[in-house]
Amino acid sequence: MKHVRLASACLCTLAACASSSGGPTVTSTQQSQTFTSGASQYDLSSRETKDVLEQMILAPLDTAWRALPGVFLELDIEPGTVDQKAHVISNTSFVVRRSLGGAPLSRYVNCGTSIGGAMADHMKVTLSLEVQVVAADSIGVSKLRSQLDGWGVDEAVSSTRVHCGSTGQLELRIARMVNDDISHRTKKAAP
């Protein structure tokens, strides 16, 4: 008889330097799996790294926070969780096919390639996106911390899941959209 024991240990260690220019911060997640067959035990642990991208927003935290929900809706991403206190909007399980926010999905995630091109553009992809607004060191400036990750399935071929890593482009687009929204509102409010 086979027994599979799963234990997830999230080791959120911040490594890499997150400079004021918005460099990525790497988080590491360890997935522990032990497979037991008869008297033998096998360790199937794996480690996965994810980038948390930081981008400067040229407005205070509260102003940037007010712009973020509209950006999610403009990209057709339903906000799954909104944490007003922590200034976090996330959706940890939304399905995308072929495009996101009017752009090919392969611009935002890499699920590998095949003879037909980027697999992200031909798969059913389940994404997890989390964006947090935090205060920056400078007065009147804030930062967006964004993390995107996903899994794709080519339903025409098999049900095997393929990891889809972020290209960093969606995180950059969200930051640009927040800055553009704030700039537009500021111009509109000016006499």
For the stretch 28-52, pLDDT in tens is: 444 455 555 556 555 554 444 567 8
63-73 average pLDDT score = 95
Q: Determine the Cα–Cα distance for residues 73 and 117; give it in Å rounded to an integer.
A: 29
Residue with tokens 């080791």: 11
- Residue 100: other Cβ atoms inside 10 A: 23
- What three-state secondary structure class fits 172? helix
Per-residue pLDDT at 150 exceeds 70: yes
Q: Which tokens sit at 146?
A: 């964004």
Domains of the chain: 52-189 (3.30.530)
Looking at per-residue pLDDT, the higher value among 138 and 84 belongs to 84
Average pLDDT value for residue range 92-107: 95
Task: Work out the average pLDDT over 172-180.
Answer: 95
The answer, yes or no, to whether residue 87 has pLDDT greater than 90, is yes
Q: Is the pLDDT of residue 26 over 70?
A: no
Q: Bridge partners of 67?
A: none
Reference 145, options 11, 6, 14; nearest CA is 14
Task: Dig out the tokens for 51 from the structure.
Answer: 């980038």
Q: Is 83 exposed, middle or buried (0-12, 13-18, 19+ CB in 10 A)?
A: exposed
Q: What pLDDT, on a 0 to 100 scale, did the predictor assign at position 185?
A: 80
Mean predicted confidence (pLDDT) in 133-157? 90
Please check the confidence at residue 169 and state whether its pLDDT lies above 80.
yes
Which residues, listed in sequence order, are joined to residue 164 by a DSSP beta bridge? 150
Q: What does the angle CA 153 – CA 123 – CA 130 come to, to the nearest 5 degrees?
A: 80
Return the pLDDT at 129.
Answer: 96
